[in-house]
Amino acid sequence: MNKATNITLKQAAEYLTEHDYFLILSHANPDGDTEGCAYGLCGALQRLGKKARIACSDPLSERFSYMEEAVEKQQFEENCVISVDVADRSLLGDLEEKYGDKIDLAIDHHISHRPFARRIYVDDSAAAACEIIYDLVKLLGANCLDEKNAKCLYTGIATDTGCFKFGNTTKYTHQKAGELMEYGFDAAALNYLLFDMKTKARIGLERYVFENLEFFAEDKGAAIALSKEILDKVDIEDVNGISALPRQIQGVEVGIVLKEKDDGWKVSLRSNCVNVQEICSHFGGGGHIRAAGCTIKTADAEEAKRLIKEEAAKAIEKLLK
Amino acid sequence: MNKATNITLKQAAEYLTEHDYFLILSHANPDGDTEGCAYGLCGALQRLGKKARIACSDPLSERFSYMEEAVEKQQFEENCVISVDVADRSLLGDLEEKYGDKIDLAIDHHISHRPFARRIYVDDSAAAACEIIYDLVKLLGANCLDEKNAKCLYTGIATDTGCFKFGNTTKYTHQKAGELMEYGFDAAALNYLLFDMKTKARIGLERYVFENLEFFAEDKGAAIALSKEILDKVDIEDVNGISALPRQIQGVEVGIVLKEKDDGWKVSLRSNCVNVQEICSHFGGGGHIRAAGCTIKTADAEEAKRLIKEEAAKAIEKLLK
């Protein structure tokens, strides 16, 4: 692999302009931001007359199915591979083996980005990678955006900021979201779908979470473990955003949700004041300061909870000193 | 009373510049927008060296107590009375008798505004009256805003748009919110307080709502009546935003929450596609197209529910035709 080179956004735009056959990779367990980047950029490149397609180790979530309308299905041999919102090559999942050392351009906003591509553009001041993609497609020229791919980019910005609530939201986040809305998609209907609509199964799951939360560190921490048995009762869609619930309770500084997987417990942390990225790094995980995750490789729920609560309690204590 | 005159925002700014002793009135049962306007404008006028104070028939909600930091308590005889976000003089509550025909300037964003002031500035394209106040204080000159009153104006914009989720949100809403954030208050902490934080009592109330909802019109309508007995168990703060819950359920087009009051049932409607303002107008109520309210003057919960469900069912049927 060549040495990674940091390039400017203008250089990234030039690079895209000079090429014609693009494969765009999003990260495994895709969220609104990585999918929004992929579909938004793919649609923009296609509108420029280029060939572009998307690959991800996991299927597009049902919730984001509208994104498929933004792109045309195209078959071709790519000569340019781009990753979007991928902080580490391992996050490519099943695609890592094939593409891990073949990425020509990585566009990302994670402060924890570990270089793996030949060209890199990382801006960790962007609340969402979709903010960067929006700036990038503007550089590609007019007519890159329409109602459909603008909606994809808005999705990434809205989901990564909790609909403009989180601390990563800046003046520019708002400005870009407002500009994207001008392309005419129904933002209210989209926001309802992304943030407000709940299935009855979801309402039941939320109830289970609130009824079974374990408080610790003088009620400043709250944790819940969701076993496969519980998770199997609901759609995968219904589990989305569950990680944010414990932190919602007045007084809770660190909210922890553990989900049972084949290889152990997948842990999601959310906080108000505590650096949860640091907590997760103890278990080989990462993410953002106020939202991070890791996997604890034990089958034992109590053991997994004990380990993560211990680290979280230490961090809470440090904060309160 | 003199005939009402519609003025421009520039004329409103000139009018404020020419006067020095302001009383600012917000509407009864105040929300984030009317309070945000009052405190934001009051702070701005005080920063200009003018005397300004606020009156409302109801106390400032605990949730918005930070707004008090934006203003100084001043005692004086006013020569200029301004109403903010007040659509009808009757909404002044207990202050109507004293001030109802003495309002010099009304600033509002309700399409249903019924003129009562000498000078009127209404812009129903503004998602929040705070959007207008922001434009107005910018016209008053630099240094009108600081971290504290900018936070008040942001509050109004954020709360009236459900944190930028609702259909009233425009490009300008985002732009103004982003600009206000630049004054340096902690927007993430504020949004957490306004939108995410829940007390344990609130979580219990939400559970009660979801467990006791009555579905109608082929599950496209959902209604719940909250008796005094239920409401008395929680803080008034905990009831805030409860009206939005029924509409969150997948498939529900009109969500209805009835709250028992001394003079009958206060009804709040929320919808995705149905004009609920029209439904509420049958009972002498009003509001916005997707969020409206009315009072049904009966002590009988079943009768109140029957009446409002009947009108809502008709509107849903009309929509589905």
Q: pLDDT, tens digit, for every residue of A87-126?
A: 999 999 999 999 999 999 999 999 889 999 999 999 999 9
What's the CA gap between B83 and B102, in Å, rounded? 10
CB–CB of B171 and A178 under 8 A? yes
**B43 shares its domain with B157:** yes
Nearest to B159 by CA among B63, B59, B45, B55: B63
User: Can you read off the two tokens belonging to residue A25?
Assistant: 């990779």
Whether A132 has a pLDDT exceeding 70, the answer reads yes
Instruction: List beta partners, residue B291.
Output: B270
Domain that includes residue A119, residue range = 5-195
> Based on the domain organization, do A223 and A189 belong to the same domain?
no
CB contact under 8 A, B169 and A179: no
| A95 shares a domain with A37 | yes
Average pLDDT rounded to a whole number, residues A250-256: 95
Kind and range of the H or E run holding A34: helix A32-47
Confidence of residue A15 (pLDDT cuts 50, 70, 90): very high
pLDDT score of A238: 86
In this structure, how many other beta carbons lie within 10 angstroms of the beta carbon of residue B8? 9
Phi, psi of A59 (to 5 degrees): -65, 155
Pairing assessment for the beta strands A291-296 and A286-287 based on DSSP bridges: antiparallel
Q: Is A170 on the interface with B (CB under 8 A)?
A: yes
Q: Rounded distance, CA B117 to CA A180, Å?
A: 38
Q: What is the pLDDT of residues A73-96, one digit of tens each?
A: 999 999 999 999 999 999 999 999
Class of residue A55 by CB neighbours under 10 A (exposed 0-12, middle 13-18, buried 19+): middle
Q: How confident is the model over B102-127, as pLDDT tens digits?
A: 999 999 999 889 999 999 999 999 99
Q: Identify the domain boundary among B161, B195, B229.
A: B195
- Answer yes or no: is pLDDT of A13 > 70: yes
A5 in B contact zone (CB under 8 Å): no
In chain B, the residue whose alpha carbon lies closest to the alpha carbon of A253 is B197
B41 within 8 A of B160, measured Cβ to Cβ:
no
Q: For B211, list phi and psi in degrees, rounded to 5.
A: -75, -20
Asked if B261 contacts B298 with a C-beta cutoff of 8 angstroms, the reply is no
Nearest CA in chain B to A202: B249
**Beta-strand relationship, A5-6 and B291-296:** unpaired
CB contact under 8 A, A171 and B163: no
Whether residues A245 and A160 fall in one domain: no
B114 and B86 belong to one structural domain: yes
**Which two tokens mark B2?**
């003199």
Chain A residues in contact with B244 by the CB 8 A cut-off are 196
Q: Evaluate if residue B296 carries a pLDDT over 90.
A: yes
B199-238 pLDDT per residue, tens? 889 999 998 999 899 999 999 999 999 999 999 999 887 8
Pairing outcome for strands B286-287 and B291-296: antiparallel
H or E stretch at B254: strand B254-261
A209 φ, ψ to 5°? -60, -50
Q: What is the number of alpha carbons within 13 Å of residue A304 lying toward its C-beta?
A: 26
Q: What Rg, from alpha-carbon coordinates, does chain B have?
A: 20
Task: State the CATH number of the domain containing residue B25.
Answer: 3.90.1640.10
- The larger pLDDT score, comparing residue B20 to residue A320, is at B20
- Identify the band that residue A142 occupies on the pLDDT scale cut at 50, 70 and 90: confident
Average pLDDT over residues B75-98: 97
Are A10 and A123 in the same domain?
yes
Q: Are A136 and A247 contained in the same domain?
A: no
At CA B262, angle to CA B257 and CA B264, rounded to 5? Answer: 50
Number of other CB atoms surrounding residue A101 within 10 Å: 13
Q: By percentage, how much of chain B surpasses pLDDT 70?
A: 99
CATH of the domain at A225: 3.10.310.30
Cβ-based burial of B18 (10 A; exposed 0-12, middle 13-18, buried ≥19)? exposed
Give the pLDDT confidence score for residue B186 in this predicted structure. 97
Contact A210, A245 (CB under 8 A): yes
Contacts of B21 by beta carbon, 8 Å cutoff, 6+ apart = B50, B51, B52, B76, B77, B78, B79, B80
Which residue in A74, A64, A58, A71 sits closest to A33, CA to CA? A64
**Chain A with chain B: Cβ pairs closer than 8 A:** 106
The count of other CB atoms within 10 Å of the CB of residue A39 is 31
pLDDT, averaged across chain B: 95
Calpha distance A227→A225 (Å, rounded): 6
Q: Could you read off the pLDDT of B60-81 as tens digits, one per residue?
A: 998 899 999 999 999 999 999 9
Find the CB nearest B165 among A182, A188, A290.
A188
Residues A148 and A252 in one domain: no
**A181/B174 touch (CB, cutoff 8 Å), yes or no:** yes
Rounded Cα distance, A151 and A180, in Å: 7
Q: Touching check for B181 and chain A: CB below 8 Å?
A: yes
With beta carbons under 8 A apart, name residues in chain B contacting A175: 174-175, 178
Shortest Cα distance from B198 to chain A (angstroms)? Answer: 5
Contact B224, B213 (CB under 8 A): yes
Determine how many CB atoms are found less than 10 A away from the CB of residue B310: 13
A219 touches chain B (CB under 8 A): no
Of the three residues B195, B226, B242, the one that is the final residue of a domain is B195
Are B146 and B290 part of one and the same domain? Answer: no
Instruction: State yes or no: pLDDT of B241 exceeds 90.
Output: no
Provide, rounded to the nearest whole percent, the portion of chain B with pLDDT above 90.
Answer: 86
Tokens of B212: 């006791």
Residues B208 and B127 in one domain: no
Number of domains in chain B: 2
Domain boundary among B149, B179, B195: B195
What residues contact residue A161 under an 8 Å CB cut-off, 6+ apart? A127, A128, A168, A169, A173
pLDDT at B237: 79
ipTM: 0.88
pLDDT tens digit string along A263-299? 999 999 999 889 999 999 999 998 888 889 999 999 9
Contact across the interface for A171 and B182, Cβ inside 8 Å: yes
